[in-house]
Structure 1
Amino acid sequence: MNNHPDAAGCVVYRYDEHGQLLILLIHDQYGKWTLPKGHLEAGESAEAAAVREVREETGMGGKSGAFVGTITYPVQKKGASYLKRVDFFLLHADGSDAVPEAAEGITAVGWFPPHEAEERVGYEQIRHIIARAVALIPSQSSSCS
């Protein structure tokens, strides 16, 4: 059993000017909405890889937070199949102007309310990660003026 993740990603979130929680989704090379994620580099922690991949795929930075969960799915590579493991973390975005990185196969990015993000996502396991993340995201503590 693989105890180390092969890849890592983030549930990137922010609050809009009305205090509405928004989740960042990317439109991937397979034509589906999902969360930003990517491979770990040698010696890199899952959390560091997750933050780096978000920056590479969307240009977004922020403060990484709690571990959200792990997904696994079968992958075919060089004729062999194996279970790919991806760890996800929270990332509180430090801005709102995400940019899709075409070189990474990302065709679009968007901020969506949690329920809409869950509906748009093309992968069942990612829906569960978003739902779990929403339960973990600290409520906005700033007073509404």
Structure 2
Amino acid sequence: MDRRNSHTSGGEGGGVPGGTVLAAGCVLWRRAPRDGRLEIALVHRPRYDDWSHPKGKLKRGEDALHCAIREVVEETGMGCAPGAALPTLHYVAKGRPKVVHYWAAEAIDDEPFVPNPEVDRLIWLPPAEARLRLTYDHDRTLVDALLEALRPLS
């Protein structure tokens, strides 16, 4: 069994109080309606003024894959079909270690985006442009991982 799917949060959700923050997300992709080229969705979070992939903290008892899908819906308004597991990121945020599990996910409900308090903008970009727009280097590695995961589909 992939341990990524079995992680649950402890404490108050999202990790152990004062310990590691557990989170999950997706690198959301689609084929562009006009030309069929690969595009990646990026979200802008006004609280941090950054561009990233949809992600968020696990709720108490929630597995990482369910969290990742829930976060895509909450942050973009779209459903998705999860695919390959992508690299797990480990970094420090707000002085606490954070572990974020990621999956490749194809957008299946391309609904119009509605801004919300967490995410005020969503953009679809080709992979090279997505790499440039992403705020954090660790998020750029996920673009490369997505391309590798999708290679057999090309």
Q: Work out whether the TM-score is over 0.5.
A: yes
- 2:72 touches 2:80 (CA, 8 Å); kept in 1? no
1:129 matched to which residue of 2?
Answer: 142
Instruction: Give the alignment partner of residue 103 of structure 2, picking from 74, 85, 89.
Output: 89
Relative distance call for 1:6 and 1:100 in structure 2 (3 A) is farther
1:51 matched to which residue of 2?
Answer: 69
Partners of 1:75 and 1:25 lie apart in 2 by 20
Residue type at the aligned position of 1:124: D
Partners of 1:7 and 1:110 lie apart in 2 by 22
1:27 matched to which residue of 2?
Answer: 44
2:29 matched to which residue of 1?
Answer: 13
User: What is the CA distance between 1:97 and its match in structure 2?
Assistant: 3.2
User: What is the total number of aligned residue pairs between the two structures?
Assistant: 133
- 1:26 touches 1:100 (CA, 8 Å); kept in 2? no
Please say if 1:72 is aligned against 2:85. no
1:143 matched to which residue of 2?
Answer: none
Please say if 1:42 is aligned against 2:60. yes
Deviates most, 93-102 or 12-21? 93-102
Identity %: 35
User: What is the CA distance between 1:98 and its match in structure 2?
Assistant: 4.8
Give CA deviations for 1:90-132 in whole Å, capped at 9, x if unaligned.
Answer: 11101333525422x2120010001100110000000001111
- 1:14 touches 1:21 (CA, 8 Å); kept in 2? yes
Q: TM-score, normalised by structure 1?
A: 0.84
Partners of 1:70 and 1:82 lie apart in 2 by 16
Residue type at the aligned position of 1:93: A
- Structure 1's unaligned 5+ residue stretches are 141-145
Relative distance call for 1:21 and 1:102 in structure 2 (3 A) is same
Relative distance call for 1:47 and 1:65 in structure 2 (3 A) is same
4+ residue stretches of structure 1 with deviation over 4 A? none
